[in-house]
Amino acid sequence: MGKVKYDCLNCVGYCCAIYERVQVAPEDLTRLAAYFGVSERLARRRYTTRHSSGERVLRRTPDPIFGESCMFQDPVKRVCSIYEGRPDVCRAWPSHGGGRCVYYDTLQFERRQQGNPHVVPLIQITFFDPEGEPD
């Protein structure tokens, strides 16, 4: 990956909020348990749930901007509250784009366009069937 061209500390945490599934692999569960000093069983029960897809995912909590977000996103500072204990999927973000983050780029673009450093364009993931039937 090229040089990073975004700063998570200047973002609102789209990646923590717009994805309803932050996958937790077995090694992530081990890391979470160690981070909190609890058993893997307790970490699984406290911090994860099963998604309808069957995946083990991080729990979500209410969020003042997006409605819901990862339970570990600080709702005021908009950063990960368990940065050293976060799952691999979060550590790899973004694993594409040549060092860019499309959400950060969108945020910065809209702030420039609107002339307001506090604007937050709302983004949501929606599945659209071009045949006219929503998924």
Using alpha carbons, select from 53, 56, 51 the residue that is nearest to residue 40. 56
The 3-state DSSP class for residue 47 equals: helix
50 inside domain: yes
- Provide the β-strand partners of residue 56: 50
Q: Read off the pLDDT of residues 24-73 as tens digits, 9 standing for 90 and up.
A: 999 999 999 999 999 999 999 999 999 998 999 999 999 999 999 999 99
Domain containing 38 equals: 8-114
The angle formed by the CA atoms of residues 63, 69 and 74, to the nearest 5 degrees, is 70
53 inside domain: yes
Answer with the residue of higher pLDDT: 3 or 114: 114
122 inside domain: no
123 inside domain: no
Span 103-116, average pLDDT: 93
Q: How far apart are CA 43 and CA 40, in angstroms?
A: 5
| Overall domain count for the chain | 1
Predicted local distance difference test score (pLDDT) of residue 135: 56
13 inside domain: yes
96 inside domain: yes
22 inside domain: yes
3 inside domain: no
